[in-house]
């Protein structure tokens, strides 16, 4: 698995537009480009941090050349309009070495 972590910088007054578009863009990337999904976080300092999971680095790199449907591309444009793209950045690109993130209770022995 391959992870890409982003810091999004939202323009003043555009938070609602960003939050409305982000899940739709993420869904489009999942459906059309092969991602495994993404999570969006807001740090204690108010920064928007997201990480996206991909099956591999190769799938992630190939995704840039794949277009989504017109509706999803429109959501992507709306999300980009809500962002200060000059300050938005990729923080990390990394392979998963050990994965113990669970959505169910851990079996504790």
Query: How do the domains of the chain map onto residue ranges?
Result: 1-93
- pTM for the model: 0.86
Residue 106: per-residue pLDDT: 63
Residue 107: per-residue pLDDT: 66
Closest CA to 23 of 99, 35, 13, 85: 35
- CATH class, range 1-93: alpha beta
- What percentage of the chain has pLDDT greater than the value 90? 89
| pLDDT, tens digit (0-9, with 9 covering 90-100), for 58-74 | 999 999 999 999 999 99
Residue 108: per-residue pLDDT: 61
Closest CA to 76 of 14, 38, 23: 23
């Amino acid at each position: 698995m391959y992870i890409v972590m982003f810091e999004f910088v939202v323009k003043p007054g555009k938070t609602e537009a960003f939050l409305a578009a982000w899940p739709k863009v993420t869904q489009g990337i999942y459906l059309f480009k092969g991602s495994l999904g993404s999570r969006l976080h807001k740090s204690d300092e108010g920064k928007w941090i997201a990480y996206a999971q991909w099956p591999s680095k190769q799938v992630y790199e190939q995704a840039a050349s794949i277009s989504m449907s017109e509706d999803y591309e429109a959501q992507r444009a709306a999300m980009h309009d809500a962002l200060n793209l000059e300050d938005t950045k990729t923080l990390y690109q990394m392979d998963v070495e050990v994965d113990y993130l669970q959505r169910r209770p851990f079996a504790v022995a």
